[in-house]
Structure 1
């Protein structure tokens, strides 16, 4: 089947103006003005006028099998369904473990990833979890990344957080070096995803690694950097040192009241302070537990991360914080695809994967989602669901 999307305003994420986009199978075949086909080949035509056509969103942090709730077993968060991602315009997800690596396991993570791929998403994963020493499947980070296809990195390893293992710089350097070599030898990202808590140490451990070892700062990829203005300032320093930082789109009123900055506003802040727009990403933290602890470290509330949050924060960045469409779109498409070393994701061009969104030009409302060449949402209605939905 060929699909021709006509007359949409293409944001690739660079602004390409009004274009036609031709899809063959799961691949973008051609982009251009007034594409014409001859012969008797079956073709589906979609009128994209009045819409932006963008790449599908690339999410670098999703708890696809759910997370362990910090309020006990009954607060373990639910696993992700296929349509949860589609409602948020997310066509590529990164499955991770977090606080709980006991009742949530790497084999379960890989099985869920394979299931979501069978249903139509693109999925990669990280080995390990919050804990150090890192728990792996084969006995080492390097072997997991090299020998297990889905694993592209390690994490999210926790620092500056009372729930982490309190690693020192030598331990963190060793994790970074092993992930780096695994990535180099396999052609994968080899990234170390870093969960950053609300401790005043912030990113100090990563700066210490860069100062005292040969592991470059850019080997690490810290997330939750919008917890506070002070952490955003540390993130600016991290970018200046050659790294990329991640902002968390899921939040709660309690977390915002405690000082966290909305993802969209954090992007504006970073750009206003001279940050490289190519070194900032958003992620959903989808299906994670979002706990709020009081000053004594006691859990007061807990909610669940939403797969729709990244699209919502992209929209807010444009409408509420005045970030240009192309700059905001980079944070959820090309930038995360580059971090994960997924060259066929996050862009619209000949030969790229056919992961595409249509957004109403006036409201940026999501109307259509194509994942791997198949429509999963049309006219705001989910048309393709998971096996048990």
Structure 2
């Protein structure tokens, strides 16, 4: 058992100063004073001067790396668990990227199991960037229903010169299969959508919703901060009930070409009256971050970082004056609810004991608990990846 004392608890809603008691991998009590549990059999942590939050939920990470648009030599590396934990991320959703040929779903699943063994909570999307999509059971519906880690499909590319240029009927069929599989298995059945920078923006999603019975909330479009025009289209889409995800990994070159930093995009969407329950941020960790010229030629390529998720939350609060409760919700409660991860995203009795302790002034991650086990102490990762 572990007893965290005197923390300012954000569930992500502010609860004030509280003690939090953990038994095994669950939170079993949250009270003003739990000193009655102080004894030699309980590990006690004094969190005075610290903020206690849920562990962060990163809804898009290329845990097995991605294909580099500059050729085989630019294939991006797999995610290292240490980067997730040092950034306060305790749950990730793994996905394939542009390359679903040399990066496989079998490899994705094996990586997920490996990360789980080290203490991280990992779920995955079946399918991939392109259509027709691969699967493990030869059916995305069966993948979601029969393989525990799979909770949806993605990330499916639209409005991108690298996409498969899907039709309305093709995307409708994919969404329908994911939706039914989710209903039958008690999962989200979500369709993660990669949105590129082509002029069509979100129009394909709008057409599917208008021409079929697929609800707007079945889609989870990401990279909506790619440009001012896409953000404006995204806010209109959210006003119709849709969800939006902002990508925290970026480069100076990409920002110079018009991308809006995720923290600023979150602030702008909230100012427009969009409910934080519809807004999330994700890192796109270990994805390739290519910059193309106006002829589609690659001019620069870098790698997404999971650690950017925490930094964007900090920027939202300290630079863009987003209330801490809302900034936290965008990387905890909101993604967990959208993805139907019922035991994640909140500091609440009965939930998984995924907990961060942050410095009250700088919001720097100082300690992390994943499923009840301390994995970061005094800003140092206690869990080391094999071969690192």
How big is the shift at 1:388? 2.5
Could you tell me which residue of structure 2 aligns to residue 113 of structure 1? 112
Counterpart CA distance in 1 for 2:199 and 2:211 is: 21
How big is the shift at 1:102? 0.6
Tell which deviates more after alignment, 73-82 or 136-145.
136-145
Could you tell me which residue of structure 1 aligns to residue 314 of structure 2? 315
Could you tell me which residue of structure 1 aligns to residue 332 of structure 2? 333
Give SS of 2:124's match.
strand
Could you tell me which residue of structure 1 aligns to residue 375 of structure 2? 376
How big is the shift at 1:64? 0.3
Kindly provide the CA deviation profile for residues 49-98 of structure 1, in whole angstroms up to 9, marking residues without a partner as x.
10100000001100000000000000000001111100111000001001
Kindly provide the CA deviation profile for residues 122-156 of structure 1, in whole angstroms up to 9, marking residues without a partner as x.
00000011111121111211111001111000000
Kindly provide the CA deviation profile for residues 156-195 of structure 1, in whole angstroms up to 9, marking residues without a partner as x.
0000001100001111111110000000000001000000
Say whether the 8 Å CA contact 2:243–2:278 is kept in structure 1.
yes
Could you tell me which residue of structure 1 aligns to residue 344 of structure 2? 345
How big is the shift at 1:387? 2.5
**Which residues in structure 2 correspond to 1:201-280 (within 5 Å)?**
201-280=200-279
Counterpart CA distance in 2 for 1:19 and 1:216 is: 40
How big is the shift at 1:38? 5.3
Say whether the 8 Å CA contact 2:3–2:38 is kept in structure 1.
no
Say whether the 8 Å CA contact 1:265–1:321 is kept in structure 2.
yes
**Which residues in structure 2 correspond to 1:116-155 (within 5 Å)?**
116-155=115-154
Structure 2: gaps of 5 or more residues: none
Counterpart CA distance in 1 for 2:278 and 2:291 is: 28
Say whether the 8 Å CA contact 1:87–1:307 is kept in structure 2.
no
Counterpart CA distance in 1 for 2:26 and 2:188 is: 22
Give SS of 1:268's match.
helix
Counterpart CA distance in 1 for 2:160 and 2:289 is: 14
Counterpart CA distance in 1 for 2:204 and 2:76 is: 30
Counterpart CA distance in 2 for 1:318 and 1:22 is: 28
**Which residues in structure 2 correspond to 1:43-192 (within 5 Å)?**
43-192=42-191
How big is the shift at 1:276? 1.3
Give SS of 1:201's match.
coil
How big is the shift at 1:36? 2.9
Give SS of 2:2's match.
strand
In the comparison of the two structures, how many residue pairs are matched? Answer: 388
Say whether the 8 Å CA contact 1:376–1:385 is kept in structure 2.
no
**Which residues in structure 2 correspond to 1:298-309 (within 5 Å)?**
298-309=297-308
How big is the shift at 1:40? 6.0
How big is the shift at 1:37? 3.1
Counterpart CA distance in 1 for 2:173 and 2:62 is: 25
Counterpart CA distance in 2 for 1:26 and 1:122 is: 12
Could you tell me which residue of structure 1 aligns to residue 292 of structure 2? 293
Say whether the 8 Å CA contact 1:196–1:224 is kept in structure 2.
yes
Say whether the 8 Å CA contact 2:86–2:380 is kept in structure 1.
no
Say whether the 8 Å CA contact 1:129–1:157 is kept in structure 2.
yes
Q: What TM-score comes out, normalization by structure 1 length? A: 0.98
Structure 1: gaps of 5 or more residues: none
How big is the shift at 1:39? 8.8
Superposed CA RMSD: 1.0
